[in-house]
Structure 1
Amino acid sequence: MAQSSRSIRRALACLAFAGLAVAQTPARAEDTGAWQSVKKAGVLRCGAAVAPPYVMRDPKTGEYSGFFSDLCRNFGQNVLKVKVEFVDTTWDNIVAGLQSDKWDVSMALNQTPEREKAVSFSAPATDYNVSFVYNKHNPKVPQGAHAIADIDKPGVTVAVMSGTAQDKVISATFKQARIMRLPGNDETRLALMSKRADLLADANITNMLLTEAHPDWAATVQPTPPLAQQQVAFAVRKETPAADIALLNDYVGAQVKSGAVDKLIKTSVQAMLVANK
């Protein structure tokens, strides 16, 4: 009888321990969530590759602006209640750096099938397509061009930021023109303005900044139909829990629905135009 009582007590103890382990499992899973880890660290790290007006960086102060920078800053400060740190990177490394935990979110990524294999995306903040800015006095580019065939010709050079969505698009689309891949936005603009390149391939919003800042010479080829119509969003690591992505989606969706994103875009565009004067 005593042996039986001891057996019962041991069994109850095992059950109690198992129950405790089960009860603690959700807490451990929550602790390993992306935003829970960010809260523990006290900082949200935003991977930042420059692409005005999405992401801009003041070369003198190092401060970040642009509407995606503002969205990331607001999400960290107002939703997660943490500090926000911008981590400088390039478009060639924007996905790899996220995968290797150098930052928590990547800003302003085009949602492409190739990238969807490597990272997960938030709800889109805005749309994107590729346009081409050129000097309207350049005889190589016909006035009123609206088809790729009008500009994809031998002897034509197209400048583009290396590793960007537009780089991949024109690499697959252009067959005759020469593609000049450069590391950043400043370098591509300089190539066009110095006439080393005949066209600058970039996001439609980014190119709008250039044409509005230089109406005396800059014009745009906007392909018909739109080239590479895509959505632009935040990216997070592939293993990010669905609940964490849902929280980010709720935030982005609310910003879009309220018109806050449109206001941020206009503010970023105006700031860029003032800076270029």
Structure 2
Amino acid sequence: MKRRTVLAAAIAATVMGAGTMAQAQDSTMAQVRDNGVLRVGVTQAPPWYSKDIISGEWTGGLGVSMGKAMAETLGVEFEPVEVTWGTAVAALQADRIDLMFVLDATDARKEAVNFPETPLLYYSLAVLARDDLEITDWADLNSSDISVSVPQATSMDAFLTENAPNADIQRFPGNAEAIAAFQAGRVDAVTLFHPPLIAARQKLGSGQIIVPQPVESRPSSVAVRQESDPAFVNWVNEQIDGYYKSGQTQVWYEEFLSDFGLDPSKVPAIIRERL
């Protein structure tokens, strides 16, 4: 009888241990603290993320600044992990990254990953087009004679597909590739939200930035892994809410613009109250 009791206790302990391990594996917050690393998805897309070409280090951009600040708050190391906008969700699901800044909370993405309640920032969809191209409305792009580049599998892609279905839409892995296609003259325009286009226009030295009518402004967010423990998504929500309300989000954005050689006062804000 005693042996059965001991055996039952051992089995119970094993089951409880397995349950605790499963819970730990399902907790991003616990994993980040245990590993001492916050893994942030990054992709070459100024002003959100910017890699130094010479050193290969991710040195600038709103997402880099915010990621470093959040890692410091947790007392862990900031670790950038390169992804694309189209592969960020899969990287979260595969436990390659812990979060990805500036990923819109679309209905499709909500099926695969979680988002905090508080928006990260706000921006408007815009077009960087040839100087001789006349664009006032989104309908002006809706022609097979006009080629437009856009990052694949993004909210920008979905909007352009719906509002300019007749355009020659050319899809690329990320912002950098979409902009490069415009720079090389392979497309007539590139569609992104306005902040990356401002940085691109500064670098290229040509092209016109247009916010077509009707203006499409929307919030962006931070994607995190789906899990039963809400600790991490709640913590991310608290952090970005504090950054937004204190104005720190806008400060990081303007710091990058200044370093990039742009006058922040002449660039649309990413705070809704100032758009």
TM-score, with structure 1 as normaliser: 0.81
Instruction: Find out whether 1:147 has 2:131 as its counterpart.
Output: no
SS for the counterpart of 1:102 is: coil
> What pairs up with 1:110-125 in 2 under 5 angstroms?
110-122=104-116, 123-125=118-120
Matched, 1:253 2:241: yes
Structure-2-length-normalised TM-score: 0.81
Listed one character per residue, the Cα deviations across residues 10-39 of structure 1 (whole Å, up to 9, x for unaligned) are xxxx9xxx9xx99xx999957852111111
Cα gap change, 1:133/1:171 in structure 2, threshold over 3 Å: closer, same or farther?
A: same
Give per-residue Cα distances to partners, 1:212-269, cap 9 Å, x unaligned: 4556x32122122223x32212111111522322211111111111111111001112
- Larger mean CA deviation between 148-157 and 81-90 belongs to 148-157
Could you tell me which runs of 5 or more consecutive residues in structure 2 were left unpaired when the two chains were aligned: 1-7, 263-275
Deviation track 1:99-120 (CA, whole Å, cap 9, x = no partner) reads 1101111222111111111111
Alignment coverage as a number of residue pairs? 254
For 1:253, what is the secondary structure of its paired residue? Answer: helix
Matches within 5 A, 1:154-193: 154-193=144-183
Aligned counterpart in structure 2 of residue 108 of structure 1, from 102, 105, 108: 102
Residue matched to 2:5:
none
1:83 partnered with 2:77: yes
Aligned-residue Cα RMSD (Å) equals 2.9
Match of 2:199 in 1: 209
Distance 1:245 1:186, change over 3 A: closer
Amino acid of the residue matched to residue 256 of structure 1? Y
Identical pairs, percent: 25
Matched, 1:225 2:214: yes
CA separation of 1:241 and 1:146: change in aligned 2, threshold 3 A: farther
Q: Say if 2:40 and 2:100, in contact at 8 Å, map to a contact too.
A: yes
Change (3 A) 1:184 1:271: farther
Query: Partners in 1 of 2:148 and 2:77 — Cα distance?
Result: 40
- Quick one: distance in 2 between partners of 1:135 and 1:221? 11
1:266 alignment counterpart: 254
Shift of 1:164: 2.6
